[in-house]
Amino acid sequence: MSPFEPLQLPNGALIPNRIAKAAMEENLANQDQTPSDPLLRLYQAWAEGGAGLLLTGNVMVDARAMTGPGGVVLEEGQRLERFREWARIGRAQGAQFWMQINHPGRQMQANLGQPTVAPSAVALEMGGLSKLFPVPKALDEAQIAALIQRFARTAALAEQAGFSGVQVHAAHGYLLSQFLSPLSNRREDRWGGSLENRARLLLEVIKAVRAQVSPGFCVAVKLNSADFQRGGFEPSDARQVVRWLNELAVDLVELSGGSYEAPAMQGDARDGRTLKREAYFLEFAQEIAAIARMPVMVTGGIRRLPVVEQVLAGGVAMAGIATALAVNPALPRLWQAGQVQANAELPPIRWKRKALAALAYMALVKFQMRNLAHGNPPTPNASPLWALLQEQWASLHRTRQYRQLMSRRTG
């Protein structure tokens, strides 16, 4: 199958090719948490790059719950003008443009100054970095019901703004992923214990979202293949969750893996399993594709056309590319034009402290995105230490702005 064949989704929508720009957190919002001009320029570069599907980075369903400062928020009361411009730019070249909607749960830094919630009062275990994250408070029934409606309302607002779909983020250790994992979900009520109970929140969110949007609006899910931690969410769990998603109006499932504690999405596992250098989660995605009624997409390390072709040959419908498109946003267009050798990668970071290396890697990716956002070419050989220091400085500035914003709202 050619990477440039269109893909028809269960709801009838058409994705013009099989290459997706996967989600990466940009932290490029305006001070009022709307899309900034640099963010729009970044997505113009990706739209012009030729991917058939563009996925935004985290758009938060609650301004009090951020994966990081400088993030975009879409909730009741937020003005839609900037979101409409974002949607227009993302769709201008014919791509599907979906908003990834998310809640961090316990993966929210303490210095943001907001209460942190999760399924259970279980802190992150990240060695010396653990102190950056507070012990969360367990959500009660009323808070869970309100969260479900927040996801649904954000999806409805995304459709009003002109996006063609949403992706509900249930991977990478964020809130919905925390409910799925027995390591972070130790509840004894209907939201915890058995896998059926742990998956209940995700399924209820999907039902609520679908009830708020039109049939032609795409609803996708990002799901971990595994937590890559002993005793966590396992591949067998993911298979069963996909069987339950089969019964709902889900248009695509993207498979990834890992969390802040075990950043497998960067090729690093904490449970002894070895991840391939490229297309980390492909083997599992092929297994899921055999049972899924909706198309399956796999993301994780893909940067070369032959690997995209390998993904599609194995029965997976779409290949999601993240970091490589921050380094060279035009890869899909170059491949379609016959430049099959074109690829893009960042050099691996071999620091002994893996958690710090993971932060440096993410900082290096954001360094490339900021270059693109300001009209400059990427610099993949930039120093990871310099990128990390620059990102930390920028994060401190954004954190001050965020705390001031929240203080004004509650003052």
Confidence of residue 315 (pLDDT cuts 50, 70, 90): very high
Contact of 108 with 173, CB cutoff 8 Å: no
pLDDT digits (tens, 9 = 90+) for 254-292: 998 765 655 544 444 433 333 444 555 788 889 999 999
Residues 6+ apart with CB under 8 A from 295: 7, 9, 10, 251, 252, 253, 317, 318
The mean per-residue pLDDT over the stretch 329-346 comes to: 94
pLDDT at 241: 96
Tell me, yes or no, whether 2 lies in a domain.
no
Confidence of residue 300 (pLDDT cuts 50, 70, 90): confident
Percentage of the chain lying above the pLDDT 90 cut: 79
DSSP type of residue 30: -
Tell me, yes or no, whether 1 lies in a domain.
no
Domain that holds residue 185: 7-410
Confidence of residue 348 (pLDDT cuts 50, 70, 90): confident
pLDDT at 266: 46
Cα separation, 405 vs 30, whole angstroms: 11
Top-confidence residue, 269 or 18 = 18
**pLDDT > 60? residue 11:** yes
pLDDT at 228: 58
pLDDT digits (tens, 9 = 90+) for 83-124: 999 999 999 999 999 999 999 999 999 999 999 999 999 988
Average pLDDT of the chain?
91
**pLDDT > 60? residue 199:** yes
Q: Any idea what the CATH number is for the domain that residue 399 is in?
A: 3.20.20.70
pLDDT at 338: 95
pLDDT at 301: 83
Residues 6+ apart with CB under 8 A from 8: 14, 15
Instruction: Look up residue 328 and give its two tokens.
Output: 């060279």
Residue type, 109: Q
pLDDT at 261: 52
Instruction: Look up residue 378 and give its two tokens.
Output: 């990427």
The total of structural domains in the chain comes to 1
Residues 6+ apart with CB under 8 A from 384: 349, 360, 361, 363, 364
Tell me, yes or no, whether 239 lies in a domain.
yes
Confidence of residue 354 (pLDDT cuts 50, 70, 90): confident
pLDDT digits (tens, 9 = 90+) for 221-231: 999 876 656 66
pLDDT digits (tens, 9 = 90+) for 24-36: 999 999 999 999 9
Residues 6+ apart with CB under 8 A from 325: 21, 22, 46, 49, 51, 331, 344
